[in-house]
Structure 1
Amino acid sequence: MGRIVIVAYRPKPGKSAELQALAKTHLSILKAEQLVTDRDSILMRAEDGTVVEVFEWRSREDIDRAHNNPVIQQMWRDYAEVCDYIPIAQVPEASGLFSEFAPL
């Protein structure tokens, strides 16, 4: 059974453009490794520049497999250079009844 996740990436200072470019390749890398479904992801940007993504892993087991996949490990290192992962609750827009973001 698929697992839909919401992830928030807060850009490090001066790294917003690099984060946005990387985020646009995220799903295709996961698809190439057969870890996610064919469902399109949703990429959006909060007012403070945080990038929020919603996507669907194929299964809990595929999430676990990603942690041992060298391609995914490299991708995560690339992300670590340009952003910090933060809980979605730390994104101010997430507290609204209708959380509004700019499309990316």
Structure 2
Amino acid sequence: MGRVVIACYAPRAGREEELHHLAREHVPRLRAEGLVTGREPIISVATDGTVVEVFEWVSEAAIAAAHESAAVRAMWDEFERVSTYVPIGSLTEAARLFSEFAPLPSVSATPPPGHE
């Protein structure tokens, strides 16, 4: 059975565009490893700039397998270079009955620094 998760990434100073780029790549890269379902992720941004992503793992076993995958661990290292992981409860929006977030901005015409 699938497992829906909410992941939150607070950008490091000056690394917002790189984080946005990685967030857009995250699920497709996990999908290439066979770890997530075909359900489209929802990627949004909190008022403080934190990227909020909702996606579905194939199973609990897939989550465990991700921790053993060199490709996934390398991707998580990329995320750690540009952001820090934060719990959803730390976001101001999480205290509201109906939490609202802005959609992740659309892809810019130029790639972020370091991704030319």
TM-score of the superposition, structure 1-length normalised? 0.98
The residue identity in structure 2 corresponding to 1:70 is A
Partner of 1:98: 98
The residue identity in structure 1 corresponding to 2:32 is A
- Alignment length (residue pairs): 104
Unaligned runs of 5+ in 1: none
- What are the equivalent positions in structure 2 for 1:1-104 lying under 5 Å apart? 1-104=1-104
> How many Å separate the matches in 2 of 1:36 and 1:82?
23
> How many Å separate the matches in 2 of 1:58 and 1:35?
6
Supply the RMSD in Å over aligned alpha carbons: 0.5
Post-superposition shift, 1:12?
0.6
Instruction: Please identify the structure whose Cα radius of gyration is greater.
Output: 2
Unaligned runs of 5+ in 2: 105-116
**What percentage of residue pairs aligned between the two structures are identical?**
50
Post-superposition shift, 1:100?
0.6
> How many Å separate the matches in 2 of 1:88 and 1:78?
21
Post-superposition shift, 1:66?
0.3
- Provide, for residues 10-31 of structure 1, a one-character-per-residue CA deviation record: whole Å limited to 9, x for no partner: 0011111110111000010000
Provide runs of 4+ in structure 1 moved above 3 Å: none
- Provide, for residues 38-92 of structure 1, a one-character-per-residue CA deviation record: whole Å limited to 9, x for no partner: 0000000001100000000000000000001010010000000000000000011
